[in-house]
A and B are shown apart, each in its own frame.
Chain A
């Protein structure tokens, strides 16, 4: 019987194809909006998360200055870190996988007639470990090179391509400023960061080499700390902060002149924004579903009036109240779920296109698809009930006589 009712409903809807289409437009738009937003939002979150994870999720960045809190000038006024600070962290704080002191300088990289301005990072081999960055060709630094501050370097994919094209750079020499460096290796391609910068635009040289021969100081710009698996980053963060306050002689009433940033915090901040955005747009979509529901109710009321004689005939033949109720309820549910299905399809298409153009991964969320489907069905039940009950309660004699 339910199947018969379903077929009947589906036929009635097809008979009024144009009207049915217009009726479900609200639901279609609402559902499509929800699906698009949630899918794109999840894609953006996934991208941000994976980008930051590629930097190392359980990585802490220890930098001088007050970080993003104070005005940009804070950094210069604070004392820089030194290699000794990094060593102190490595030997005093428990639960660490690796500590990588780094410093950077921007420089012109030259090979033959090729010329490329890039960022030079001075680091030891722990840098690759903390960044979970693998070597594509060649090797990492030897202990002797690190200690003596030799002029050797590893190239990021971009720098390699800019200077050498497709030729292997191993064993070749490039110039950074006035100094010649021997290329001992290349780094695996990493792609864009979530901030849109090219992570492969990098030359890595031993930290000591950078300090002595390029910057001419002993500063360490950032100490990267990789926390061992299963260790809470927050506790490690606390330990490092205490240690650094001690080493830098900060009195209890003074603020830190350095900051320890957890990459997880950054992820939370960034994904938090997309969550808020998603919630906001979902609210808008909810309103359009409500409007869609009212549209369905309106058209169902019209339909009941138009088909008064049909209802009268059915009642005279012996249809029960609940059978007539069911007929109209099924019709409105079929209508609304049909809208839901179209909305889901449209939403997924739009999300697919959107993710392609924005450059975020397409994340299919079965949960939201199921929820949208059920929600659109619920809209049909809720807003179809009043018209259906009106039909079921009709007086058969009056309905039969209705013109």
Chain B
């Protein structure tokens, strides 16, 4: 799907993130250059504390870089206001978190509808789209169950449906299978791969497991806030 000729969707130039003040500063990211093309499936790997989550949060415009520039489709994200970044996420990005972060005591369907509510979609259209997204992750039957009544793997699939329901350009996933066993992990990875291939959704996924990373087109390795390898080691499936 991804080819060298596609223009980069995401471009990091010398991005750094500094935490703390004075002598106690800590460079969680230390001059990252990175580009992701539309339609790519990228895995981010590296030891704990190497800066993967920090990098993904900046990619997802949840956080801003301390130094450097970040362009999303040519737009300098670091210059956007808080609300403008919220609109960017609303319109173009989807998120899957390690802890699922579903709203308890509301149904799976309502969780999936949430991004569409913020897009001010009429209720009927919203229901249809959310139902379709749940069907796509194989949970149509569970639409009216609360997240607490679902298994971990099912909950993560609801989260995937929620991230994809608005047809985002990019899906950000921070250790999406960190809480799941290897069978469920493979299911999720295969599902992501499928969305990536069939709908051309760009995916950036942080993972510890090589088995998961193998589903990606490309693996980026982090070490102490720097990128150590940025190759195309992933098996093409």
Contact = CB atoms under 8 A, between A and B. Distances in A.
A4 B90 CA distance: 18
A364 to B, nearest CB: 39
Contacts of A312: 101
Interface in A306-336: 309-310, 312-323
Contact of B89 (A310, A318, A323, A397): A318
Contacts of A15: 105
A400 B97 contact: yes
Interface in A1-54: 1, 4, 15
A317 B114 contact: yes
Given A321-B82, A397-B63, A313 B103 contact: yes
A396 interface: yes
B95 A316 contact: yes
B18 interface: no
Contact of A313 (B57, B60, B88, B101): B101
A-side binding surface: helix, strand, loop or mixed?
helix
A382 B103 CA distance: 28
B83 interface: yes
Interface string A372-403: 00000000000000000000000011001000
A317 B62 contact: no
A316 B62 contact: yes
Contacts of A322: 83
B95 A317 contact: yes
Contacts of B162: 317
Contacts of B105: 15
A313 B89 CA distance: 12
B117 A396 contact: no
Nearest to A5: B117
Given A316-B62, A397-B62, A321 B83 contact: yes
Contacts of A316: 60, 62, 89, 95, 97, 101
B101 A400 contact: yes
B62 A319 contact: no
B190 interface: no
A309 B101 contact: yes
A119 B87 CA distance: 87
A318 B97 CA distance: 15
Q: Which 3 A-B pairs have the closest CB atoms?
A: A318-B90, A318-B89, A313-B101
15 contacts: A313-B102, A313-B103, A313-B114, A314-B118, A317-B114, A317-B118, A317-B162, A318-B86, A318-B88, A319-B118, A320-B86, A321-B86, A397-B57, A400-B62, A400-B101
